[in-house]
A and B are shown apart, each in its own frame.
Chain A
Amino acid sequence: MEELRQSLQDSAQDGLLPWGAQVAAAERFAVSIARAEEAALSLGILPARYQRNRQAIDVAQQQTLFRSRVAVVGCGGLGGYVIEELARLGVGTIVAIDPDLFEEHNLNRQLLSSPDRLGQPKVEAAAARVAEINPAVKLVPVQAAYSTENARALLHDVQVVVDALDSVPTRLALADSCDSLGLTLVHGAISGWFGQVTTQFPGDGTIRQLYSRWVEGKGAEQHLGNPSFTPAVVASIEVAEVCKILLGSGTPLRNRKLSINLLEMEFEEIVLAGLDRAVGT
């Protein structure tokens, strides 16, 4: 591997490794694109595709992202954008979980959907998309519904979990699983012009607070639908949260919910005091 390292060092220009050189080194030394990326990052060489990350994310942080594993639960409106952005950001392994196939009513907003992909599994489209846009990233497709029973296996070795689900009971189960597995969960939900994002750290019980009065059924999205821009906004904020948590930088939306209203263009922070301290509960 010393030869690989030497070759990468020889190919680097101003600390950047051009894509062509990364592919050539991988072929020459019979290693994966991912392995070549890891080797470059460990030498402090930034794959040139990430050069515009550089003001926000330095080489060491890029390496941290590359060594990270993030689970995205739900690959529809939110999940499609989340996967795209995590892959472009350079998160090394993405576990994409969704049992569904693309249907025509997904086409107005789901990034990974297209007429050609109708009837195909969403996680298969996710794998194909990531292979196309960033071959150094490994996407693990899991065509199954998340459940409490498979949580431990699906979330094994994961650092952060992204909630891109569309059902309250599954969200609550996921939030409880993350809590018991000691995992941080970035929650996003949308409904028409509206959305919300929060980050639940183990023990916070934040998602249970958000849906504390839920009894049954779906939200207003059932009759409002979801236009193309709402999932893009909410998913992007979720990915920013994931990025900060993986890097340990910035201030996450902990114990606060960002309430998003794109109709009146209002972003409001709701401070969540915690259910235990709530009056009368």
Chain B
Amino acid sequence: MNITVKLFATFRFGRFAAATRQYPPSTQIGEVISELQIPESQVSMIMLNGRHANPDQRLNDGDSLALFPLVAGG
């Protein structure tokens, strides 16, 4: 299945800004995060099709996933 993955801020370093990638059916969000070699603890917010989501949620063909790192300085 095709999943559009959007990465923000530092997550783009050495990766990409946005890409449509192929995953096996019913892949979990957490599996995409680990495939991208992003430590899950660094993910501050996950949005799936514009709604907040959790790593254990399963993806469907055509889903759009956005991953945001922690931005917390002042």
- Report which A residues bind B (CB closer than 8 A): 74, 76-79, 163-168, 171, 188-196, 209-215, 217-222, 224, 226, 231, 259, 261, 264, 268, 270-271, 273, 275, 277-281
Contacts and interface: CB of A to CB of B under 8 A. Distances in A.
Given A194-B9, A259-B8, A280-B57, A166 B74 contact: yes
B73 A189 contact: yes
Given A191-B9, A210-B45, A212-B45, A219 B70 contact: yes
Contact of A192 (B10, B43, B44): B10
B50 A221 contact: no
B28 to A, nearest CB: 11
A278 B74 contact: no
Contacts of B70: 168, 191, 211, 214, 217-220
Nearest to B46: A213
B74 A78 contact: yes
Contact of A221 (B42, B56, B71): B71
B45 A209 contact: yes
Contacts of A195: 71
A272 to B, nearest CB: 8
Interface of B: 8-10, 12, 17, 41-48, 50-54, 56-57, 66, 68-74
Q: Which 9 A-B pairs have the closest CB atoms?
A: A221-B73, A278-B52, A219-B70, A166-B74, A219-B72, A194-B9, A191-B71, A220-B10, A190-B73
16 contacts: A189-B73, A191-B9, A191-B71, A194-B8, A209-B45, A213-B43, A218-B72, A219-B69, A219-B71, A220-B70, A226-B73, A259-B68, A261-B9, A270-B47, A270-B68, A273-B52
B44 A211 contact: yes
A223 B43 CA distance: 16
Nearest to A272: B52
Contact of B53 (A171, A219, A268, A280): A280
Contacts of B43: 213
A189 B41 CA distance: 18
B53 A191 contact: no
A277 B73 contact: no
B17 A264 contact: yes
A172 to B, nearest CB: 11
A195 B8 CA distance: 11
Given A213-B46, A214-B44, A279-B52, A224 B10 contact: yes
